[in-house]
Structure 1
Amino acid sequence: MANGRLNRPAGRNSNTSKQEVVIRTDRPIVVDATNHIAGRLASNVAKLLLQGQRVTVINCEKIMMSGTRSNQIQEYREFLEINSIINYKHGPVHYRRPDTIIAKMIRQMLPFDRKPSGKLAFQRLRTYIGAPNDTKPLEKTQFEKALIKRAASNYTTLAEICRVIGWTE
């Protein structure tokens, strides 16, 4: 170390070798989540957030969960039973609104607890029930790989599950 700097060979910067060129805009990417499978939507949004984009997810109540309605409700009710014996603050937070559930799902796909880039990426995310007035003039995008493939009767909407577990609109 000389003058407080590490001695590194000139011309070698490992950070620039794998970076992708991403065009960033001031306008957020608005994703219409209608008829999207929850996990696939969350992974695509997480990738955009890590690239530095601002993402707004609208119509979160229309996101589809694959599997039968009874199985999805049973799984979430089992999750609601997990808590702490000592203090409720030590157990997991049980969200019941569709927009907060999908935000938590996206947060789990980011390096939120490990890196500062994950926290910064999560701050660029907005999720909404319905479509707010400021997003109506913007162009809405959908992910083709995240759309449902079979009939909608084979899936359960996030709003149905949330109503059963305690969401009041």
Structure 2
Amino acid sequence: MAKETKLETKPEESQPQQNKLIVVDATNCISGRLCSKVSKLLLQGNRVSVVNAEKVMVSGNKYEVIESYKKRLEVGSIVNPIHGPFHPRRPDTIITKMIRGMVPKRKSSGMQSFKRLRVYIGVPDELKNSAMQSFEDAKITRPESFYISMSDVAKQIGWKGVVQ
């Protein structure tokens, strides 16, 4: 006889809703904690939009954080720099690459989940009226002077954009 499996072991209320749009406000959130929460939501099957990516905070000494990002820019191809690696300089692409490092990007589940991610600088017009979610355990706990914002890091490594 074939082995039978029960599909419904949990009640429907405890299962996460799939394909639901979740808008995350990234203002004053620590970058690593925010990205891990967002990657978890993506792997559960939700569509996630992160707004205010330029206001994400990076913890650590300001000068050491900037130096580590500048050191990362020195990595390039010896043969031909056209072939990469390409280093993100905008705050939204930096956050996108951080989230990409937290999903299994070579597996089909990771590829599908990464396609459901959108990261924005500021708040776009189509998301202004939606309810924004924030993660309390990802918020900064000390004064803002102990952190550096992602827009400051991006400006130091070559971003010429203007915050909306």
TM over 0.5: yes
Determine which of 40, 44, 49 is the counterpart of 2:42: 49
1:9 equivalent to 2:5? Answer no
Equivalents in 2 of 1:91, 1:78: separation in Å?
A: 16
Determine which of 11, 15, 18 is the counterpart of 1:21: 15
SS of 1:102's partner is helix
**Root mean square deviation of aligned Cα:** 2.0
Deviations 1:48-81 (A, max 9, x none): 0000000000000000000121111100010000
State the identity as a percent: 47
Equivalents in 2 of 1:88, 1:25: separation in Å?
A: 39
Q: 1:53 to 1:163 in 2, by over 3 A?
A: same
1:4 counterpart residue number: none
Structure 2 unaligned segments of length 5 or more: list them: none
8 Å CA contact 2:51–2:119 kept in 1: the answer is yes
1:87 equivalent to 2:80? Answer yes
Equivalents in 2 of 1:16, 1:118: separation in Å?
A: 25
Equivalents in 2 of 1:120, 1:25: separation in Å?
A: 12
1:125 equivalent to 2:117? Answer yes
CA deviation after TM superposition for structure 1 residue 21, in Å: 2.0
CA deviation after TM superposition for structure 1 residue 104, in Å: 0.5
Q: Which one has a bigger Cα radius of gyration?
A: 1
Structure 1 unaligned segments of length 5 or more: list them: 1-7
**What number of residue pairs does the alignment pair up?**
158
CA deviation after TM superposition for structure 1 residue 17, in Å: 7.5
After superposition, residues 128-143 of structure 1 pair within 5 angstroms as: 128-143=120-135
Deviations 1:104-152 (A, max 9, x none): 1001000002x10101000000000000011010001100110001001
8 Å CA contact 1:58–1:129 kept in 2: the answer is yes
Equivalents in 1 of 2:19, 2:46: separation in Å?
A: 8
SS of 2:49's partner is strand
Deviation beyond 3 Å, 4+ runs, structure 1:
15-18
SS of 2:46's partner is coil
* TM-score scaled by length of structure 1: 0.87
What is the letter of the counterpart of residue 32 of structure 2?
G
2:99 counterpart residue number: 106
Q: 1:119 to 1:82 in 2, by over 3 A?
A: same
SS of 1:56's partner is strand
Equivalents in 1 of 2:115, 2:19: separation in Å?
A: 16
CA deviation after TM superposition for structure 1 residue 167, in Å: 0.3
What is the letter of the counterpart of residue 45 of structure 1?
V
1:78 counterpart residue number: 71
